[in-house]
Chain A
Amino acid sequence: MVSLSSLPGAGKRDIVALEGVTKRFPGIVANDSIDLSIRPGEVHVLLGENGAGKSTLIGMLSGLLQPDEGRILVDGKPTQITSPRHALALGIGTVFQHMMLVPALTVAENLLLGGPWWQRPRTEELEARVAEITRSLGITVKLHAKVSELSLGEQQQVEILRAMVRNSRLLILDESTSMLTPKGIDELGALMRRLVEQGLAIVFITHKLKEAAAFGDRISVLKLGRKVGEIPPGRFRALGEQEIVSEIVELMFGKQKDDPEAVECPIRTVCVEAAPLLQVADLTVAPTDNAPGLSSISFDIRPGEILGIAGIDGNGQKQLAEALAGQRVATRGSVRLEGTAIEMLSVGERRQRGLRYLTDDRLGEGTVGTFPVSINFFLKQVGAAPFWRNGFEQRAEIDKRAAQLVREYDVRTPSLKTPVARLSGGNIQKVLLARELAEGAKVVIFNKPTYGLDLANTLASRQRIRDTAARGHAVLLISTDLEELLSMCDRIAVIANGALVGTVENVDDARTKVGRLMIGLAA
């Protein structure tokens, strides 16, 4: 085990440096002559939109990809990082954006992967180590639960834990905060601070400018494969948080200086007297082994209103969304849409009546990755006129309507025939938005609608949600991003352990109240 504090020259020399690194893929230059220096004792923030080349850069550092030009120096020596094993041996640990856990194995087994094959897995040793790390992280991890039964947020925690278990001296966090709660993000920030104080180097990738400003020591900004700017530590310390944010925004977008996420919340008038569009009363779902159930959930949403559901991931948010959409059986309770009971109806019938559900699992249950964009628009209408007649696909009709939706929702796709999995996360989300909001929507459930999206797409999705409400629809917005809820909702309900623990009007002190509810205090 390397003692991190005793590393010679901590804070002085680069652990890893990139010199003029270029990586090309057919048709695009993913990284164009990038220089980067990663030093012990620093949190180096990499900022950039989707497609800016961050993932490619991480791929080269973690041994998955080889640069076409330029070189990577490890401890000052030019090194070819030939494989992930090599990267690990060099002390480079990565938490990838896409889950890198084996769903059929338990958490413990996943953490043990990679040991010498002739050995028995050292479970006891692992348990002690994990207990030590989780204590400092302030997280709880179910070591013996199967990964497939964990929520996405919990899986991400396991991945961070795994990198810690491996004693990395350079830790790369690729979008690691996107699934964490505000409290979890703060804790991660504090942990990163502790780690760099011991001499570890961290590369931290995030879309959120505030996190970059709050947790970073050095910021590099990537744009379309190029590094467009860097704020070194000296300058970083001299600037205030607001100044840093505005400088980054200028580097990234070359436009206005304010925080682009802080949109003025336009005053929508929710007619208080109007009859609620969606009434949920006493909705109860039985818990399963590793997922909480729902206990007696009740709320109303009026036309034009956005009701937010805040809470730490894995507290029944997905169960709530699925129970409303009809994908999960409720043991008790009623769901009324425009006064009519729909709790006995099937998924399809609920959709017909105007209840729409945007899943957070965009590629899994949301779309069929290998199908073209055009068909994915009509997945929930397969067989229905005018797109199918007598069982035959009406190619012309489909393409015409699909082209219209692509324009309307600004889906950036090479063609209508492109398999949807080839699009970026933001564009897949646009396909989903187009499908669910298109015609006849009355009540729309959004589950983590901006998870993993870059800033531009996040803002676009949020605008869609606001527009949906402005059209007089009822919106249920489930999110783990408190800022998002505060900037969008009329009311915010907090879910914990499958129950709504309180509902707060989104006025002045809502942040404190929701925060108190989330950590288990009364508002």
Chain B
Amino acid sequence: MTGLFSEVFLSALMFGAVTAAIPLLLAGLGEQMSEKAGVLNIGIEGMMLAGAYLGFVGAFYSGSLWLGFFTGAAGGVAVALIMALLCVRIGLNQIVIGIALTLGLEGLTALLHHFQFSRSYPRLPAADATVIPLLSDIPVIGPAFFKHHLIVYLAVGLVFGVGYLYRHTQLGLNLQAAGDKPAALDVAGIDVIKTRTIAVLTTGALAGLGGAYLANVGAGLFIPFISNGAGFLGIVLAMLARGRPVWVLFGALLFGVCLSLTTAMQVAGINIPTDVIQMLPFLAVMIMLVLFGRRASLPAALGIPYERGTR
């Protein structure tokens, strides 16, 4: 037990928390954008898996992590394109299509993994960290927060970028109107379908990027079902955050700590069954939902396909 609270342990724990939080953050930000525009994106888990698989493939064959991030995001967009076509343009049920996409991508990526990688289980080399001078010298906090891959800082910066988008731009207004009262947006002369499509595709890109980070930086390899519910946690985060990107960041960090703690406690050899430890993040979800879920306010037209001229 003495090792549990040592400096090294604490900073490793927090480092792990950040690593675990980034995919959740990206998924949560993505889901938030879809929901703002009125599309409940259950397919986000599938988008993450597509991103994880294609991201790994891209990085593995090219040797470039950045190309991997790009192919991962593209994979997410590809799945989002199906979602946008079926749910936004044709107006099919978002929940049914979302579940179908998730299940389909789980199967497809597992199958592709089986043919490509199941004999060799290739790994990527550890990602280069961008060490931030001075800040990284702070004890405990320094190594935990300021020795990550560049994409981590970019993801955190994105939180504020998205926040600015929602509060200070015309596109942000359009997105919110598309989710709250699409008819009002339509008569204002903005194409609701296009606005929602933009939102869903952006979600795909963010989720795909999150998946690619998970595979390439977090794990260094691709295995089936690697996302392990991260997309669903993203949905919970988006719901709890009530439209505020910063809250997604806080939520993602909180869940990240829980996820990191499960690993840490197993490593530390604490005498609790691993199954119980692994429940921790999901227990945290339930507690968060009980505490804050009731006050979560969702857009009025969430989940309702828009069709012009219907009441």
Contacts of A100 in B (CB 8 A): 181, 183-184, 187-188
Cα separation A94 to B176 with both chains bound (whole Å): 22
Please determine whether A105 and B169 come into contact, CB atoms closer than 8 angstroms: no
Q: Which of A98, A99, A113 contacts B174 (CB 8 A)?
A: A113
| Across-interface contacts of B174 in A (CB, < 8 A) | 113, 117
A72-115 contact mask (Cβ, 8 Å, vs B): 1 or 0: 00000000000111001100001010111111110001101111
Q: Are B309 and A88 in contact (CB under 8 A)?
A: no
Shortest CB–CB separation between residue A522 and chain B, in angstroms?
Answer: 42
The answer on a CB contact under 8 Å between B189 and A88 is yes
Cβ B170 vs Cβ A84 within 8 A? no
- Cα–Cα, bound, A48→B185 (Å): 28
Contacts of B299 in A (CB 8 A): 104
The smallest beta-carbon distance between A141 and chain B, in angstroms, is: 17
Question: Do A84 and B188 touch (CB < 8 A)?
Answer: yes
Count, chain B residues at interface, CB 8 A: 24
| B-contact bits for A121-141, CB 8 A (1 contact / 0 none) | 100000000000000000000
Task: Report yes or no: A113 in contact with B308, Cβ–Cβ below 8 A.
Answer: no
Select the stretch in A59-67, A275-283, A371-379 that faces chain B.
A59-67
Query: Which residues of chain B are within 8 angstroms of A101 by Cβ–Cβ distance?
Result: 181, 184
State whether B185 touches A113 (Cβ < 8 A). Answer: yes
A258 nearest CB across to chain B (Å)? 35
Chain B residue numbers with a CB within 8 Å of A389 are none
Q: Bound complex: CA of A139 vs CA of B187, how far in Å?
A: 24
Closest residue on chain A to residue B182 by CB atoms: A102
Q: Which of A98, A102, A105, A121 contacts B168 (CB 8 A)?
A: A121
A103 interface neighbour in B173, B185, B186, B300, Cβ under 8 Å: B300
Judge whether B177 is part of the interface by a CB distance below 8 angstroms.
yes
A117 and B189 in contact, given A102-B181, A421-B311 (Cβ under 8 angstroms): no
Residues of B within 8 A of A117 (CB): 169-171, 174, 190
Residue of B171, B173, B183 touching A109 (CB-CB under 8 A) = B173
**Which of A62, A98, A105 has a CB less than 8 Å from the CB of B173?**
A105
Instruction: Give per-residue flags for B280-311: 1 if the beta carbon is below 8 A from chain A beta carbons, else 0.
Output: 00000000000000000001100000001101
Identity of the chain B residue whose Cβ is nearest the Cβ of A122 in the assembled complex: B170
**Roughly how many angstroms separate A103 CA and B182 CA in the complex, as a whole number?**
11
Q: How many A-B residue pairs have CB under 8 A?
A: 81
Q: In the bound complex, do residue B180 and residue A104 qualify as a contact, i.e. CB atoms below 8 Å apart?
A: yes
Contact, CB under 8 Å: B184 / A102: yes
Determine the distance from Cα of A115 to Cα of B309 in the docked complex, in whole angstroms. 22
State in angstroms the CA–CA spacing of A114 and B173 once bound together.
Answer: 9
- The answer to whether B173 touches A113 (Cβ under 8 A) is yes
A390: chain B residues at CB < 8 Å are none
Least CB distance, A127 to chain B, in whole angstroms: 16
Is B300 in contact with A114, judged by CB distance below 8 angstroms?
Answer: no
Check: A407 CB closer than 8 A to any chain B CB: no
Judge whether A102 and B170 touch: CB under 8 Å: no
Bound together, the chains give a CA A83 to CA B177 distance in angstroms of: 18
CA distance A118 to B281 in the complex (A): 39
Residues A113 and B184 in contact, CB atoms below 8 Å apart: yes
B305 to A: closest C-beta gap in Å: 16
Which B residue sits closest to A123, measured CB to CB?
A: B168
Residue on B nearest A113 in the bound complex, by CB: B188
A113 to B181, CA, bound (A): 12
Interface residues of A in 8-63 (CB under 8 A from B): 59, 62
* Interface contact B173-A121, CB-CB below 8 Å: yes
The B152-211 residues at the A interface (CB cut-off 8 A) are 168-171, 173-174, 176-177, 180-181, 183-191
In the bound complex, CA of A100 to CA of B177 (Å)? 10
- Please give, as numbers and ranges, the residues of chain A lying within 8 Å of B300 by CB-CB distance: 103-104
A195 → chain B closest CB, angstroms: 20
How close is B215's CB to chain A, nearest CB, in angstroms? Answer: 33
Would you call A118 and B170 a contact (CB within 8 A)? yes
Chain B nearest CB: distance from A158 CB in Å?
11
| Residues of A near any B CB (own CB < 8 A) | 59, 62, 64-65, 83-85, 88-89, 94, 96, 98-105, 109-110, 112-121, 421
Task: Please give the residue numbers on chain B whose beta carbons come within 8 Å of chain A beta carbons, in ascending order.
Answer: 168-171, 173-174, 176-177, 180-181, 183-191, 299-300, 308-309, 311
- 15 A-B pairs with CB atoms under 8 Å apart are A64-B186, A64-B308, A65-B309, A84-B188, A85-B191, A88-B189, A100-B184, A102-B176, A102-B181, A103-B181, A104-B180, A112-B170, A114-B190, A117-B171, A121-B173
20 further A-B contacts with Cβ under 8 Å, apart from A99-B184, A102-B176, are A64-B308, A65-B309, A84-B186, A84-B187, A84-B188, A85-B190, A100-B181, A100-B184, A102-B181, A102-B184, A102-B185, A104-B180, A104-B299, A110-B184, A113-B190, A114-B185, A117-B170, A117-B174, A118-B170, A120-B169
The 9 A-B pairs of least Cβ separation, nearest first, read A85-B189, A114-B188, A113-B188, A117-B171, A102-B181, A100-B184, A102-B177, A84-B187, A114-B189
